[in-house]
Amino acid sequence: MRKVKEILRLRWGLGLGVRQIARSCSVSHSTVSEVLARAETAGLSWPLPEDLDEATLEAMLYPAPSQTKGSKPLPDMEYIHKELRRKGVTLQLLWEEYKQAHPDGYQRSQFCQLYRDWAKTIDVSMRQIHIAGEKMFVDYAGQKVPVIELSTGEVREASVFIAVLGASNYTYAEPTWDQTLEAWISAHVRAFEFFGGVPRVIVPDNLKSGVKQPDYYEPDINLTYQEMAAHYNAVVLPARVRKPKDKAKVEEAVQNSERRILARLRNRTFFGLAELREAIREALEDLNNRPFQKMDGCRRSLFLSLDKPALQPLPGTRYEFALWKKARANVDYHVEVDHNYYSVPYQLARQEVEVRLTASTVEVLFKGKRMASHRRLYGKGQYSTLKDQYGEGRLGNPGW
């Protein structure tokens, strides 16, 4: 309380600014602002009464919950916290609505302070305000699960993909054999289908599968990841390096999944990935339906009222996984892809092109324009040649 008195003296007695007071008292400027707001709410003025001891001052600035009620109606904090996640809703708007219902209620500064005090009492992952339907945080759990592969009897370690929606904390989890790009993308697709809609922003933790080059300002997004996001009308915004708040939501989800899902499965033996997937699904149901400790409802009820209505609809077709590669056209107007050869227009000889591969097709693009499309070949040394891509007098059979 000595620093509190000094803050009040410097502000009310000497008229110093918030940042000057913060430097003088070795506290953050937000702490100074909070002390001044509490002092104003408590009706204090300078100089303080001589008989005001530290215990009394503390009780005035930080009253117990029962002391805050008085004769004025308390705001519904859970309602406020929930409404703030709706797009465009602010504390100012909620205070105005509160005052319309309770003209004799708290003034704006007191209303906001009461909410801030209440928000500090809830779970850390729930304190941040995320707009409904806006963000999905994704990562792999640090813990892997041993699985016996039925066909070989080999014990393999499965990774666990985690996705969590920002506003409701509604969580999705699934096991994958590895963390390859195809497993990463496929898990996203199934997460969208689990949620029954698509968020506007996907936030990965700079995972190598999705981000080629982590960078503080402009991470280089893998082309497949970018294409998948565009298919679902979303954008990928990786968590910034050394910015823990950017990824706090998914880290909390990973921790919850490890405690509520993986820990409870630790003594079970799994034969095949399908058996592990079913066990995770059952544990996930329990996690999403588990009541909040300091709020009414659960992840599922919050999801149904907040995130679900705000998600974008799923597109008419599921994203088909595609790899992107760079290649250079040979003098015979073919590009080599996985030991097979595909023709391109003869003008592209010796030019660098982009190749998009799906399970069934191979597309060749030059400067963003599709120049050729082939049925994908499997095996080695095979040619796919489109005759109309050769100019007059050009050889039609490249396999010389």
Cis peptide, bond prior to residue 47, ω within 30 of zero: yes
Q: Mean pLDDT over residues 171-188, rounded?
A: 93
What pLDDT, on the 0 to 100 scale, is given for residue 92? 85
Which residues does 273 contact at the CB level (< 8 Å), separation at least 6?
147, 158, 175, 176, 177
User: Which pTM was predicted?
Assistant: 0.64
CATH class, 135-310 region: alpha beta
In this prediction, residues 254-266 reach a mean pLDDT of 81
pLDDT reported for residue 398 = 42
Task: Kindly state the percentage of the chain with pLDDT values over 90.
Answer: 32
Nearest Cα to Cα of residue 117 among 52, 46, 41: 41
The mean predicted confidence, pLDDT, of the chain is: 82
Residue 66 has pLDDT above 90, yes or no: no
Which residues contact residue 63 at a Cβ distance below 8 angstroms, ignoring those fewer than 6 apart? none
Domain ranges across the chain: 1-62, 64-121, 135-310, 323-389
Tell me the average pLDDT across 62-85.
71
Q: Which of these ranges, 3-17, 142-156, 220-234, 252-266, has the smallest mean pLDDT? A: 252-266
* Length of the chain counted residue by residue: 400
Structural contact between residues 378 and 392, judged by C-beta atoms closer than 8 angstroms: no
